[in-house]
Amino acid sequence: MKISQLFGTKPCVFSIECFPPKQTTQFAAMQDTLRRMAQLHPDFISVTYGAGGSAGGVSTVEVARFLKQELGVEPIAHMICMGSDKVKAAALLDQLEAAGVDNVLALRGDRTPTRPESPDFAHASDLIAYVRSAKPGFDIHAACYPEGHPEAPTLAQDVANLRYKQEAGATHLLTQLFFDNGHFYRFLNMARRAGITLPVSAGVMPIVRRSQIERTVALSSASLPSDFTRMIARWQDDPVSLHKAGVEYAIYQLRDLIEGGADGVHLYAMNDADVAAAIYDGIRDLLPAT
């Protein structure tokens, strides 16, 4: 199924992101998590590009296959340029096709010391063009950045660069997480003015643990509005209250985005089915009945 076609039929598409477990022994627990997430009626679940076979973890393909074959949930498999080339990408696409998965999120990938640059794909748009020609039946999704990608000189230039993804054949954009909806609305206006016509799903991550503040918030380079920093300052030493406040903040963000007309909302649930369920409860009245 082409997930991008949902955007013409639903006022707001609801989706969740998960990541493959690092150890194969954790896959059974992960499957329980995904079963519980499936009960929240997501229109799709995206699976990050994970450890991969050689590292001993569960692969993105295995998780996507489980979602599709066992749970009947439409998956989007992330794939990246870094460390890949046309031969490896072709093999991955064949594996996905064999698993019944035909939606991919084509990314450049984060630069890490263990990931060499790709000789074939400098940018996500090169990978998108390759997938488009190798698997014309696949639906290709891509990333965007409401506050601009950190390597782009300006937000305007980053938005202009989205044209490459659209022209190469992407059909839907998923945003980087953000904590201030004002950035999303501003970005969307800029993107539409720049000729980006693709539907855009707004990505929200609930911050429910102190460790996330140090890692995720710092790494994402998302700016922090005063409501959010006040919440953190108030509850950072009280884990139970921080958890509750983090869920409430994400619900507040998501309700505003849905009511503000976002094409889709994408929950970075960090493999936490309890958090995903609590947030779904807080927004389900705004989502179309399934």
Residue 215 is given by DSSP the state I
**Shortest Å distance, C-beta 239 to ligand FAD:** 28
Encoded tokens for 1: 């199924």
H-type helices in 135-180, by residue range? Answer: 155-168
Question: Based on CB atoms, which residue is closest to ligand FAD, 127 or 231?
Answer: 127
Phi and psi at residue 200, to the nearest 5° = -125, 125
**Shortest Å distance, C-beta 168 to ligand FAD:** 8
Question: Based on CB atoms, which residue is closest to ligand FAD, 109 or 206?
Answer: 109
- The residue type of 120 is D
Distance CA 96, CA 67 (A): 12
Query: Which residues from 17-56 bind ligand FAD, rule CB under 6 A?
Result: 48-49
Question: Which range of residues in 66-74, 89-97, 101-109, 187-195 is near ligand FAD by CB under 6 A?
Answer: 101-109
Phi and psi at residue 29, to the nearest 5° = -65, -40
Q: Are 8 and 43 in contact (CB under 8 A)?
A: no
**Shortest Å distance, C-beta 223 to ligand FAD:** 16
**Shortest Å distance, C-beta 75 to ligand FAD:** 13
3-state secondary structure of 213: helix
Query: Which residues from 224-283 bind ligand FAD, rule CB under 6 A?
Result: none
What residues line the site for ligand FAD (CB under 6 A)?
48-49, 78, 80, 107-110, 123-125, 143, 149, 151-152, 158, 161, 164, 174, 176, 203
